[in-house]
Amino acid sequence: MIARSVDASPRPYANPYVAGVALGLVLLAAFVVMGRGLGASGAFASSAAGVVAAAAPEAARANSYFAKYLGGDGPWLDWLLIEIVGVGMGGFLSALVARRLRLEIERGPRLASGARLTAAFGGGAVMGLGAVLARGCTSGQALTGGALLSVGSWLFVAGAFAAAYLVAPLLRRLWT
Amino acid sequence: MTAPYFELGYFGARGALVAALVIGIAFGWCLESAGMGSARKLAGQFYLTDLTVFKVMFTAIVTAMLGAFWLGRLGVLDLTRVYVPETYLVPQLVGGLIFGVGFALGGLCPGTSCVAAATGRLDGVALVAGMWSGVLATGLFFPALERFYERTPRGALTLPQLAHVPYGVAVLLVVLAALGGFLVAERIEAKVRTSVTPAAPDEMRRTVAPVVEGVGA
């Protein structure tokens, strides 16, 4: 074996417009193959329904939110749950090939690791509430509904970005 | 019409799950390669230092929108069989506002947090756990929220229907809005680059604290 270049530095990210076109083609493929779009928060909902159903089957069936995910093949074979497993695999493979895998806590220069993890957990919990009320998140509403010109999806996008820009100045010390 | 294949019965439930996995892998690959698994990069969107989120999302929306429109026009894709997310005006606006606060606080959205977690970022893992807990808690309190959740239903309402313009006109307006947005985004980024950034390329400037170096590739 001839020693190839031992440059193991992470490769730079793709051009955002090229990546955007590729992502758009994946979304289009979902329309063409499945007749539905992409999603993420639905995977959280169906797995939560699965856990509730395992712990308290009666309560899960009595809850009209969780009950939606308990029909058909059950919550663990939900289409979006399998899709999100794929998202993790695809992200891992892309990072592996581009040498971007790395165990770390991404945070601002002035923020302690614990504070970053708390903010991430808290932000996730708040998004959980928002995504349930909005019937989706940046994947199911913004991308999918956005491309299909759904009024509610564009309303969701407008609300999400307006709120994010309003609170971001108050959260400046998280990132600067 | 030959598509959508699943809706027209070309394959069944098992095939749909294979499609879910393959489409998911492609989705995750695109997000990671654009840098969307990085909270620092995503947060740059809200401080106008890195507009990758806007560019990737709007390009993807425009691409899929044009594809769906033209495949429908050419008779390949039956758009009446593609599920359009139904509109509930008030809960979706309020949900969006709440979601935006969480997005700014957490720095990742639900899909990108899965990519962050899968590529070794522990803040991504924390966000996935938080999101899951938030959905679980909201689900448990759902009976109290249900009336609000069902308010102001408008069915599968689309922008061209709302504005009483043809589908193609709405598509063209979104394309023009995107092109205008991209011009503004490039200007903002150029301004940021000339005013603050030193020579190192954005992606390589890691002010993050690696917990363990050199895991993985």
A93 and A176 both lie in a single domain: no
Query: Which of A103, A128, A153 finishes a domain?
Result: A103
- Which residue ranges of chain A lie beneath pLDDT 50? none
Q: What is the DSSP letter of B121?
A: B
**Beta-strand relationship, A103-105 and B87-88:** unpaired
**Distance (Å, rounded) from C-alpha A46 to C-alpha A1?**
49
Q: Tell me the three state secondary structure of residue B209.
A: strand
Q: What is the pLDDT of residue A5?
A: 61
Look up residue A13 and give its two tokens: 């990210």
Q: Do B135 and A44 touch (CB under 8 A)?
A: yes
Q: Do A28 and B46 touch (CB under 8 A)?
A: no
**Which residue among B67, B114, B143 sits closest to A88, beta carbon to beta carbon?**
B114
Q: Do A88 and B71 touch (CB under 8 A)?
A: no
In a domain, A138, yes or no: yes
Query: Which of A103, A122, A138 finishes a domain?
Result: A103
Query: Which of A86, A103, A120 finishes a domain?
Result: A103
The structural domain count of chain A equals 2
**Distance (Å, rounded) from C-alpha A136 to C-alpha B58?**
18
Give the nearest chain A residue to B26 (CA atoms).
Answer: A90
Q: What is the pLDDT of residues B62-86, one digit of tens each?
A: 999 999 999 999 999 999 999 999 9
Q: What is the pLDDT of residue B205?
A: 47
Q: Is B74 on the interface with A (CB under 8 A)?
A: no
- State the smallest CA–CA distance between residue B107 and chain A in angstroms: 7
Q: Do A101 and B88 touch (CB under 8 A)?
A: no
Structural domain for A137, as ranges: 108-176
**Which residue among B24, B120, B156 sits closest to A101, beta carbon to beta carbon?**
B120
Q: Is B3 on the interface with A (CB under 8 A)?
A: yes
A88 and A169 both lie in a single domain: no
Q: Do B107 and A140 touch (CB under 8 A)?
A: no
Instruction: Domain ranges for chain B, please list them.
Output: 5-193
In a domain, A1, yes or no: no
B84: closest CA among B141, B140, B156, B142?
Answer: B156
Q: What is the pLDDT of residue B214?
A: 43
A12 and A98 both lie in a single domain: yes
A145: closest CA among A20, A30, A18, A19?
Answer: A30
In a domain, A161, yes or no: yes
**Distance (Å, rounded) from C-alpha B155 to C-alpha A150?**
10
**Which residue among B43, B63, B182 sits closest to A24, beta carbon to beta carbon?**
B63
A20 and A93 both lie in a single domain: yes
A113 and A167 both lie in a single domain: yes
**Beta-strand relationship, A103-105 and B153-155:** unpaired
A143 and A78 both lie in a single domain: no
Q: What is the pLDDT of residues B24-66, one digit of tens each?
A: 999 999 999 999 999 999 999 999 999 999 999 999 999 999 9
Single-letter code of the amino acid located at B93: L
In a domain, A3, yes or no: no
pTM of the complete model: 0.92
**Distance (Å, rounded) from C-alpha A40 to C-alpha A139?**
6
In a domain, A167, yes or no: yes
- Are the C-beta atoms of residues B178 and B62 closer than 8 Å to each other? yes
Angle between helical axes of B89-106 and B142-149 (0-180°, round to 10): 120
Interface of B with A in 189-208 (CB under 8 A): 201, 203-204, 207-208
A27 and A81 both lie in a single domain: yes
Q: What is the pLDDT of residue A2?
A: 54
In a domain, A2, yes or no: no
- Are the C-beta atoms of residues A66 and A60 closer than 8 Å to each other? yes
What number of other Cβ atoms are within 10 A of residue A26's Cβ? 26
pLDDT tens, residue order, chain B (217 aa): 689 999 999 999 999 999 999 999 999 999 999 999 999 999 999 999 999 999 999 999 999 999 999 999 999 999 999 999 999 999 999 999 999 999 999 999 999 999 999 999 999 999 999 999 999 999 999 999 999 999 999 999 999 999 999 999 999 999 999 999 999 999 999 998 887 655 444 444 444 444 444 444 3
Q: What is the pLDDT of residue B197?
A: 53
Q: Is B2 on the interface with A (CB under 8 A)?
A: no
A97 and A29 both lie in a single domain: yes
Torsion of CA B79, B80, B81, B86, to 10 degrees: 100
